């Protein structure tokens, strides 16, 4: 019996890349607030450049590559989905709404019946 085992190897270089990416995010946020008097263009520029650098460094690490591969595979699977036609989608949505309405009415009637049974008949607590 063969079992496949998934091994995650996290090297020191990958950990360092993730740490640098996290530090760049923190630095970009700090620069955004520190550069408040320089104008919005400088503020947003520093934020976007810092975040872009963090994203680039993250995607060069092994977890980043795995995330990218996962996203690519997920997108490939989404392309395989056969979506319903507009008419079918509207019909199914209408069925759901009708079912919810019927269920709400049923639960309301059940609640009022039990309330009448317990409070009025058994306990005699008239309102």
9-59 pLDDT, tens digit per residue, is 568 899 999 999 999 999 999 999 999 889 999 999 999 999 999 999 999
What global pTM score does this model have? 0.58
Q: What percent of the chain has pLDDT over 90?
A: 77
Over residues 109-118, the pLDDT tens digits come to 999 999 999 8
Backbone angles phi, psi at 70, to 5 degrees: -60, -45
Write down the domain spans for the chain: 10-81, 84-127
* Contact between 29 and 66 (Cβ < 8 Å): no
State the Cα–Cα distance between residues 53 and 89, nearest whole angstrom: 43
């Amino acid at each position: 019996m063969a079992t496949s085992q998934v091994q995650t190897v996290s090297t020191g270089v990958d950990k360092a890349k993730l740490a640098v990416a996290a530090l760049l995010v923190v630095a970009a946020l700090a620069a955004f607030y520190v550069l408040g008097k320089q104008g919005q263009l400088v503020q947003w520029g520093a934020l976007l450049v810092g975040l872009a650098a963090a994203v680039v460094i993250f995607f060069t690490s092994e977890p980043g590559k795995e995330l990218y591969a996962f996203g690519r595979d997920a997108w490939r699977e989404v392309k395989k989905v056969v979506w319903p036609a507009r008419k079918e989608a509207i019909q199914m949505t209408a069925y759901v709404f009708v079912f919810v309405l019927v269920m709400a009415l049923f639960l309301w009637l059940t609640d009022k019946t039990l309330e009448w049974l317990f409070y009025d008949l058994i306990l005699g607590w008239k309102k």
